[in-house]
Amino acid sequence: MAGGKRGEPKGAAPSGEAGAGQSLHVAIVMDGNGRWAKRRGLPRTLGHRAGVESLKRTVSAASELGVRWLTVFGFSTENWSRPAAEVAELMALPKRYFETDLARLEREGVRVRVLGRREGLSADLVQIIEEAERRTAHNDRFFLQVAFNYGGQADIVDAARRFAEAVAEGRARPEELTEGAFAGLLSTGGAPAPDLVIRPSGERRLSNFLLWESAYAEFVFQDVLWPDYGAEHLKAAIEEFQTRERRYGGAVADDVLAAG
């Protein structure tokens, strides 16, 4: 069983290794909308709307800073537990974003992919998502993945279930399951692993985001609320990332020689 039905886009290096300016993959937990609104005496919904504007700024900045893949966390499988009015507002955000920006994304060579479960989303929203993916499917200059109704554990379970079904139907054998094959069954299948995971807002958690994919990612936590996020914050995070030494579980050759 080669790859999943949602394994596109293909063609990217499967490893997480990338240098800035090449095909850097940055993932962001867009956190702090609620606190941003509260500090201003505004309803949380306005914090989320301001968050959409930050996303627009960040997509533009990312492309200028040499990022080729950007994955953002828009709605988690756990966010359904929020009050109904807030969930309704969060469900309206993709429409708000694509209505104003899809034509530009399409024109500027951005390929959009929405990660996560489609079950539970309204038919209208699924249509909006599918239109964004279809209209940008030919693009390959920049990849924008929006995790929406996404949970890392749910995504792993869905992938495991797909593989189990393939085995049960005789389309796959258990021994064919490798780390690489399994990665291809996730909703991120075909994308390189994130190099850098950023969480603004001062929280220091992964919150069920890209659990499998971030195995060797570097983490940068920033004390800025998402609606205030901009190019300068992304630049600072990338500069911090560039100071990190990535060993992928190995050792630095010089240190091995020095010890011997």
Residues taking part in catalysis: 31, 79
Residue number with CB closer to ligand FPP (145 or 214):
145
Between CA 110 and CA 144 the distance in angstroms is 7
CA triple 242-247-248, angle to 5 deg: 115
148 makes contact with ligand FPP (CB under 6 A): yes
Site string for ligand FPP, 34-73 (x = CB under 6 A): xx------------x--xx--x------------------
- In whole angstroms, give the CA distance from residue 243 to residue 260: 27
Query: Which of 82, 148, 77 shows the shortest CA–CA distance to 112?
Result: 148
What distance lies between CA 72 and its chain's CA centroid?
4
Which segment (19-27, 89-97, 164-172, 235-243) binds ligand FPP by CB under 6 A? 89-97
Spatial CA neighbour of 69 closest among 21, 10, 24, 8? 24
Looking at the Cβ atoms of 41 and 250, the one nearer to ligand FPP is 41
Under rule CB under 6 A, residue 200 binds ligand FPP: no
Looking at the Cβ atoms of 126 and 181, the one nearer to ligand FPP is 126
**Is 188 assigned to a binding site?**
no
Rounded Cα–Cα distance for residues 65 and 245 (Å):
20
How many residues touch ligand FPP (CB under 6 A)?
Answer: 19
Pairwise CA distance, residues 199 & 32, whole Å:
10
The distance of closest approach from Cβ of residue 182 to ligand FPP in the complex, given in angstroms and rounded to an integer, is: 27
Answer for which of 6, 24, 27, 31 binds ligand FPP (CB under 6 A) is 31
142 in contact with ligand FPP (CB under 6 A): no
CB of 97 to ligand FPP, least distance (A): 4
d(CA 255, CA 220): 26
Q: How far is the CB of 132 from ligand FPP (least distance, A)?
A: 9
Q: Is 32 annotated as a binding residue?
A: yes
Closest residue to ligand FPP using C-beta atoms:
34
Q: How far is CA 100 from CA 91, 96, 105, 106, 199, in A?
A: 16, 7, 10, 12, 26
Q: Which two tokens stand for residue 141?
A: 């200059």
Give first-to-last CA distance, the chain, whole Å.
Answer: 45
Binding-site residues from annotation for Mg(2+): 31, 218
Binding-site residues from annotation for substrate: 32-36, 44, 48, 76-78, 80, 82, 199, 205-207
Which residues form the interface with ligand FPP (CB under 6 A)?
Answer: 30-35, 48, 51-52, 55, 74, 79, 90, 93-94, 97, 146, 148, 226
